[in-house]
């Protein structure tokens, strides 16, 4: 039985640190990739420089989670259109199972000799003030970490990354809204060791401001602010959602109290049976909106789904249906937005509050609107120097509201255009499906991932 955190961390490092053989094999693959890229560059007659960036270049990568990030650094004099066109052409010529992605400009992601690989065009700059696009900073980040991260701290970064992976907070992409690799590295630079980092994160508060120098971080409206040491205008932690910020603090507090291997390697989720799910739900009721999953990259898909969740929740609350919780799940071919309303039906009438009687123009407008309105049940009346009117609600059943109104609200560019015709409203029974067992288990199980 393992008890001490040091013992646990030693075991974790044995599992996640790449061996010398693995590093050597990876170096050979990268050398071969650079050779192929150089052949393509030679055809362009543009002096493009190849630069390896990311965790491989910084030697902070975790075995079995290896992505090769190769940047194609163009001279700043090259037109943006040429950079994009040439960058895509090089990527398409080399990578297998490729897909075109978009950061601030397009790039190609795919496979090279069994490794996930990204070939990203950027402009070659000396410091962040010269940047022409956001990705131009990435090589500067790599150089900064190479210069400042001590050899002994590489293991601390690996531990932190695996800890974040284990609790579901690793990755700044839209699907996760967590901590990027670079953010992990500068947090380790800030605190020195993984142990120190755990201690410090336990004391974080909303709006936590961090920097590696004496500069006072600018105000950003995010839960965590960490000023980029290579670009003081940028918050490296801008992608971190409130949910993931709070989750990391909770995990660090729990780890400090009782270190366990399951923080780094949680047990695989065992979905409950539908019978168990129904038992846990009890008398609670749910309503959902189901539509086909748009065929777009996750970076575009997830922000649109989150926007849809907000829009649908606002719609329900605007019509008098308080929502206890609103969430979503992305399945193989479908997206479900799932709401837990306080109630499925509400009263037929509602007392609608008007303006103070002293505001004559507003009061006149209110009276004009409601005095002969077909929805008015009780004529406008004055009480405690304010006008009121009792009116019939437009919708008393949340399902009917959604069926009538959901297609009229703005959900997201690709959802609005392609999907709305196939959107359906589903109730609790229709949501209790075999393929949603994992979703319901996560939703209903109150335990944290490391407790399961």
pLDDT number for residue 287: 97
- Output 127 or 161, whichever has higher pLDDT: 161
10 Å CB burial of residue 179 (0-12, 13-18, 19+) is buried
Provide CB contacts within 8 A for 115, sequence distance 6+: 26, 29, 66, 67, 68
Domains identified in the chain, total number: 4
Q: Are 94 and 72 in contact (CB under 8 A)?
A: no
Mean pLDDT along residues 345-374: 93
CB atoms within 10 A of CB 92: 14
- Do residues 287 and 431 both lie within one domain? yes
pLDDT higher than 70, residue 23: yes
Q: Give per-residue pLDDT as tens, 274-286.
A: 999 999 999 999 9
Q: Are strands 334-341 and 323-330 parallel, antiparallel or unpaired?
A: antiparallel
Q: Give per-residue pLDDT as tens, 304-326.
A: 999 999 999 999 999 999 999 99
- Do residues 324 and 410 both lie within one domain? yes
Structural domain that includes position 173: 150-263
pLDDT higher than 70, residue 298: yes
- Do residues 105 and 229 both lie within one domain? no
Residue with tokens 């001590």, as numbered in its chain: 150
Residue with tokens 């493009």, as numbered in its chain: 48
Q: Give the CATH number for residue 371.
A: 3.30.70.1550
Phi-psi region of 334 (alpha: psi -120 to 50; beta: other; left: phi over 0): beta
Provide CB contacts within 8 A for 96, sequence distance 6+: 110, 111, 112
DSSP single-letter state for residue 61: P
Using pLDDT thresholds of 50, 70 and 90, give the confidence band for residue 418: low
Using pLDDT thresholds of 50, 70 and 90, give the confidence band for residue 1: very low
Q: Give the CATH number for residue 92.
A: 3.30.460.10
Beta bridge partners of 52: 70
- Do residues 208 and 120 both lie within one domain? no
- Do residues 60 and 104 both lie within one domain? yes
- Do residues 418 and 294 both lie within one domain? yes
State the greatest distance between any 2 C-alpha atoms of the chain, in Å, as a whole number. 83
Q: Are 118 and 69 in contact (CB under 8 A)?
A: yes
**Could you give the CA distance from residue 102 to residue 421 in angstroms, rounded to a whole number?**
27
- Do residues 212 and 359 both lie within one domain? no
**Could you give the CA distance from residue 21 to residue 28 in angstroms, rounded to a whole number?**
11
pLDDT higher than 50, residue 340: yes
pLDDT number for residue 217: 64
Q: Give the CATH number for residue 185.
A: 1.10.1410.30
Residue that terminates a domain, selected from 392, 411, 426: 392
Q: Are 255 and 5 in contact (CB under 8 A)?
A: yes
């Amino acid at each position: 039985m393992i008890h001490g955190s040091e013992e646990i961390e030693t075991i974790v490092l044995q599992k996640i640190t790449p061996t010398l053989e693995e590093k050597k094999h990876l170096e050979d693959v990268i050398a071969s990739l650079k050779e192929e890229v150089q052949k393509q560059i030679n055809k362009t007659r543009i002096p493009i420089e190849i630069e390896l960036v990311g965790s491989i270049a910084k030697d902070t990568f975790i075995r079995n989670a290896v992505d090769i990030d190769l940047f194609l650094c163009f001279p700043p004099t090259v037109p943006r259109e040429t950079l994009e066109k040439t960058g895509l052409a090089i990527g398409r010529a080399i990578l297998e199972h490729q897909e075109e992605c978009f950061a601030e400009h397009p790039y190609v992601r795919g496979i090279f000799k069994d490794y996930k690989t990204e070939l990203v065009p950027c402009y070659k700059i000396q410091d962040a003030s010269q940047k022409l696009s956001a990705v131009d900073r990435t090589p500067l980040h790599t150089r900064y970490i190479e210069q400042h991260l001590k050899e002994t701290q590489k293991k601390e970064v690996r531990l932190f990354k695996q800890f974040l992976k284990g609790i579901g907070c690793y990755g700044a992409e839209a699907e996760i809204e967590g901590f990027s690799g670079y953010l992990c590295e500068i947090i380790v630079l800030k605190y020195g060791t993984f142990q120190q980092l755990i201690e410090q994160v336990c004391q974080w508060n909303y709006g936590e401001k961090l920097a590696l120098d004496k500069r006072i971080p600018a105000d950003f409206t995010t839960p965590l602010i960490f000023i980029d040491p290579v670009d003081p205008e940028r918050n490296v932690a801008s992608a971190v959602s409130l949910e993931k910020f709070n989750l990391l603090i909770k995990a660090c507090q729990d780890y400090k109290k009782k270190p366990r291997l399951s923080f780094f390697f949680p047990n695989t989720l065992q979905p409950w049976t539908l019978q168990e799910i129904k038992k846990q739900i009890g008398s609670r009721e749910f309503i959902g909106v189901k539509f086909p999953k748009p065929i777009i990259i996750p970076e575009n898909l997830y922000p649109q789904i989150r926007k849809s969740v907000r829009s649908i929740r606002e719609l329900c609350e605007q019509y008098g249906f308080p929502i206890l919780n609103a969430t979503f799940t992305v399945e193989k071919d479908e997206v479900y937005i799932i709401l837990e309303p306080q109630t499925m039906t509400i009263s037929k009438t509602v007392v609608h509050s008007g303006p103070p009687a002293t505001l004559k123009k507003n009061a006149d407008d209110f009276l004009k609107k409601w005095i002969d309105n077909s929805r008015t049940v009780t004529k406008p009346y004055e009480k405690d120097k304010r006008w009121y009117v009792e009116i019939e609600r437009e919708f008393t059943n949340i399902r009917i509201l959604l069926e009538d109104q959901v297609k009229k609200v703005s959900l997201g560019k690709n959802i609005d255009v392609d999907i709305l015709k196939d959107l359906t409203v589903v109730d609790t029974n229709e949501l209790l499906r075999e393929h949603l067992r994992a979703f319901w288990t996560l939703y209903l199980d109150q335990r944290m991932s490391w407790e399961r």
